[in-house]
Amino acid sequence: MVGLPARGKSTIATKIKENLKNDSIKSRIFNNGDLRRRLFPQNTSVAEFYNPENREGMAIREKISMINMERARNYLRDGGDVAILDATNASLARRKKIRYYLDDHSMLFIECINDNAEIINASIRRKIDTSEFRHLTNEEAIKSFEKRISYYVSIYSPLKTESDFVKVDSLNKKVIQEEIRNDLPYYEQIRDLLITDTVKHLYLIRHGETYFNLENRIGGDSSLTGNGRLQAEALAKYFSKKDIPLIFTSEKKRTIQTAEYIKALQKNCTIIPLAEFNEINSGICESMSYEEIRREMPHVYNTRKKDKYNYIYPEGESYATMKQRIERGINKVLYLSAISKNIMIIGHRAANRMILSHFFFRREEDVPYIYTPMDMFYYISTSQKRKLFQLKRYQ
């Protein structure tokens, strides 16, 4: 792996390892950061430890790199198929050393690239939520990690001269550039994994009942009813024995309120609101009931009935125009939570329909009619070979 910190290297490494292992290809990750935290438990959260001019820090990091290279070589000699060196490997000198030390094995460099400031900041916040940074305030930890990144930037040399490499947009799962000169084992499978969504356990939930639901009104920012709170409590109880580290919601009160009940019964859980998962913007029809739209705006009502997927509410959205932001939201979720076994999204009827259509095929004209009840949730599990979708009750 190659790339600056917080660019998704470990996420992709984990995806490759787990999917190869599912095909009985023996794979193992050798992560420099994990090894550093085990062997050198002293305060390596200090940014100056990563300063290229810090000889002591540099010596420790070189030692860690050599230990993992030795471990990887032994693993391959003892019957392992794929060894993944998960580290920044930011300098050309480091990569030359890897190639020299493991020159009796095929080698592929995968560079993770992501310049999305919002996602980088979110990744940093996840990374500092560990024992390594607990003696620091959030502000101090973020500042330290950003300084660490700046030191890596100062020595960073993107892939260019290596004979076998792939550059990947790690957020949007796109291959930016590839240079393959040799016949690499498992390459076609690995390349496909780089652009394939793989999810162990995704729970897609619609928020609990709101006052607007009782009045059949669309959009708005209504709160949960008493029954909606009971639904949220039932959800929380159902998921209380599962580890849900992150809950992604929209920015609307009803999804966040539902998530708060679930979070209350989790040991360590963070709610992350994303604008991308907001309900469809119904423009001038926002907060109206369907009956009011039919009576007061018959042209809007009748035109939308003819093509519900493509019809754009005046000053609002359609299902079709939601697609780009929903896809962006899904990419953010998978990027931030790919190392988690369980992922949860709490959204809205139309937004959830679009999320579901991302994972399994539906004709566009059928998407606005996907069943999204409030007393059930969708369970999704996908890999290169298998897609599983179940609608489950929680009460």
Q: Do 161 and 252 sit in the same domain of this protein?
A: no
User: Which pLDDT value is given to residue 87?
Assistant: 97
**Considering the domain boundaries, does residue 62 fall inside one?**
yes
On whether residue 360 sits in a domain, the answer given is yes
Claim to verify: residue 30 and residue 179 sit in the same structural domain: yes
Residues 127 and 150 in one domain: yes
pLDDT of residue 341: 84
How far is residue 346's CA from residue 85's CA, in Å, rounded to a whole number? 35
Instruction: Report long-range pairs for 368-375 (Cβ below 8 Å, ≥24 apart).
Output: 368/308, 368/309, 368/319, 369/308, 372/206, 373/206, 374/206, 374/207, 374/208, 374/209, 374/213, 374/231, 375/231
Q: Is the residue at 3 inside a domain? A: no
CB 251 within 8 A of CB 271: no
Please report the pLDDT score of residue 324 as a whole number: 94
Residues in the chain: 395
Out of 195, 210, 237, a domain closes at: 195
Provide the 10 A C-beta neighbour count for residue 298.
10
| Residue 384 maps to a domain | yes
Same domain, 118 and 214: no
Q: What is the pLDDT along the chain (395 residues), one digit of tens a residue?
A: 999 999 999 989 999 998 899 889 999 999 999 999 888 876 677 899 999 999 999 999 999 999 999 999 999 999 999 999 999 999 999 999 999 999 999 999 999 999 888 888 888 887 887 778 888 888 999 999 999 999 999 999 999 988 899 999 999 999 999 999 999 999 999 999 999 888 889 999 999 999 999 999 999 999 999 999 999 999 999 999 999 999 999 999 999 999 999 999 999 899 999 999 999 999 999 999 999 999 999 999 999 999 999 999 999 999 999 999 999 999 999 888 866 789 999 999 999 999 999 988 889 999 999 999 999 999 999 877 788 999 999 97
- Domain residues for the domain of 189 are 9-195
Q: Are 281 and 303 found together in one domain?
A: yes
Pair 40, 174 in one domain = yes
- Indicate whether 79 and 186 sit together in one domain: yes
Q: Are residues 292 and 174 in the same domain?
A: no
Indicate whether 286 and 176 sit together in one domain.
no
Q: Which CATH number belongs to the domain containing residue 155 in this structure?
A: 3.40.50.300
Closest by Cα among 284, 308, 306, 305 to 296: 284
Give ∠ CA 8-13-14 in degrees, rounded to 5.
Answer: 100
Does residue 279 belong to any structural domain of this protein? yes
**What is the predicted pLDDT for the residue at 382?**
87
How far apart CA 287 and CA 215 sit, in angstroms, is 10
Q: Give domain status of residue 161, yes or no.
A: yes
**What is the structure's pLDDT at 361?**
80
Please identify, among 195, 221, 237, the residue that sits at the C-terminal boundary of a domain. Answer: 195
Which pLDDT does position 109 carry in this prediction? 98
Examine the domain organization and report whether 263 and 235 are in the same domain: yes
How confident is the model at residue 320, as a pLDDT? 97
Q: Are residues 137 and 214 in the same domain?
A: no
Q: Where is the domain boundary, 140, 167, 195? A: 195
The per-residue b/e assignment along 143-168, b for 16 or more CB within 10 angstroms, e otherwise, is ebbeebbebbeeeeeebeebebbbbb
Q: Does one domain contain both 139 and 259?
A: no
CATH of the domain at 247: 3.40.50.1240
* Domains in the chain, number: 2
CA distance 150 to 94: 18
pTM recorded for the entire structure = 0.82
Q: Tell me whether residue 4 is in a domain.
A: no
- Which pLDDT score, from 0 to 100, does residue 43 have? 66
Residue 235 located in a structural domain: yes
